[in-house]
Amino acid sequence: MIRARHFSIAVTVFVLAAGVALAGSWYDDYDDGANAAKKGNWSVVVQKMTLAINGSARENDKARTYGAIFINYHPYYYRGVAYLNLGKYKLAEEQYAKAVAQNPSIKELKTKLIWLKAVEGDPEQALSMAQKYWQEMPEDKNALAGYVNTLVVNNRLNDAMAVVMLNTKQHPKDWRLHYLLGDLYLVKKEKNLALASYQRALTLNPDDPNLVLNLSARYVDTHLEREAERILLAFRERQPGNMLTLNQLAWLYIDTLNSPEKAKPLVDALRTDADEPTTIDTIGWYYFKVNRFGEAEYYFRRALRLDPENTAIQKHLALALERLAQK
């Protein structure tokens, strides 16, 4: 059974919150939402940031919370990140547009708006926006990536390759350029060159969970499941408490490799901190795969309470109920 991927889709959450627990209302919700974003709990992010906006709608780099306590307050940005990861692109674009209007200095927002324009079906306009942004900010790697991605969408792969290879020669220790080059090699179906570029990116930036998650997904998509397992296991050694990569490794064993017995210790670890719907769904899918359908039903229902519109989890619950009815 294939479902929506359990990883953050090339989105790095920039921590804008103060990171302290505050006594109050909207700022409590904002702090909770920022912490949920660190864990990839995107449904919770939407819920908490909406509550924060209801209490204070204006973004501010120095929002007063209580007395002399100030925080960087960017709820629209966070809600945009959450909607993007949930695949709700139009809603994400609306949130980013609001954030850009109030915070034109947050550069990565422009790149996200450009990409959303491309995926919504206007690649030529996206390319025009991306080229203008890159010309304005030639040292900004987000601007470069946005320009290269829109070149590919506009079927200008050779131009994209030329841009990235030139920049990689100029900045050989920038992991983002090697990662981007690997993506382009994959588009060209040059798998070995893609793997070499990805490995250079990983060597330069070994402790970034988003990089590991996205690389493991690319390896699975290109039928290199053992490579995905290798980098996920290596990352687990370095950061055993990272729930996102733990969840991805568990899903790899349960579903892709059909080896749920290898996932048991991972599932046991996930159960200790399971508050995100896709993590709970992974636990449920483990129980389904080992024919414990009652426990599978419990976890699928629990996941759906947190994310009732998730069609993949709905299908998993339906399968569990079907198996229970056959007993």
Is 210 a domain residue?
A: no
Integer CA distances (angstroms), 115 to 11, 128, 151, in order: 12, 12, 11
Number of other residues whose CB lies within 10 A of the CB of residue 222: 15
Torsion angle of the four alpha carbons 198, 204, 209, 212, in this order, in degrees rounded to the nearest 10: 20
Whether 10 is covered by a domain: the verdict is yes
Distance CA 310, CA 318 (A): 13
In eight-state DSSP terms, residue 22 is -
The answer to whether the beta carbons of residues 82 and 74 sit under 8 Å apart is: no
Q: What is the pLDDT of residue 8?
A: 37
Mean of the per-residue pLDDT values of the chain:
84
User: Quick one: pLDDT at residue 239?
Assistant: 93
296 assigned to some structural domain:
no
User: 84 with 92: CB under 8 angstroms?
Assistant: yes
Position 69 in a domain: yes
Render pLDDT for 223-234 as a digit per residue (tens, 0 to 9): 999 999 999 999
**One-letter amino acid identity for 64?**
R
Looking at residue 48, which CATH number applies to its domain?
A: 1.25.40.10
64: which DSSP letter?
A: E
61 domain-assigned: yes
Q: How far apart are the first and last CA of the chain?
A: 21
Identify whether 214 is part of a domain: no
pLDDT score at 237? 95
Q: What is the mean pLDDT of residues 237-248?
A: 93
Residue 90 has pLDDT above 90, yes or no: no
- Is residue 198 scored above 50 in pLDDT? yes
96 found inside a domain: yes
Q: Which domain holds residue 3?
A: 1-106
As given in the structure block, the two tokens for residue 218 are 């690319």
Average pLDDT of span 276-305: 96
Question: Which three-class secondary structure state does DSSP give residue 61?
Answer: strand
The span from the CA of 198 to the CA of 132, in Å, is: 28
| Lowest mean per-residue pLDDT among 65-74, 119-128, 151-160, 307-316 | 65-74
Q: How far apart are CA 50 and CA 186, in angstroms?
A: 38
Assign 5 a pLDDT band (cuts: 50, 70, 90): very low
Residue in 245, 291, 252 with CA at minimum distance from that of residue 269: 245
Write out the two tokens for 151.
């070149």
Q: Please give the average per-residue pLDDT across 183-193, as a whole number.
A: 93
Q: What is the pLDDT of residue 106?
A: 63
pLDDT at 208 over 90: yes
pLDDT at residue 236, rounded to an integer: 95
Q: What is the predicted pLDDT for the residue at 96? A: 84
pLDDT tens figures, 7-65: 333 333 333 433 333 344 777 888 888 888 877 788 899 999 999 888 887 766 544 44
3-state secondary structure 194-205: HHHHHHHHHHHC
Q: What string of DSSP letters covers 20-88? A: S--SSSHHHHHHHHHHHHHHT-HHHHHHHHHHHHHH--S-EEEEEEETTEEEEE-HHHHHHHHHHHTT-
* Total domains, the chain: 1
Answer whether 0.85 is exceeded by the pTM.
Answer: no
**pLDDT tens per residue, range 132-170:** 888 878 887 878 888 888 898 889 999 999 999 999 999
| Contact in structure between 30 and 73 (CB atoms under 8 Å) | yes
218 or 134, greater pLDDT: 218
Nearest to 208 by CA among 12, 3, 1: 12
Is 200 part of a structural domain of the chain? no
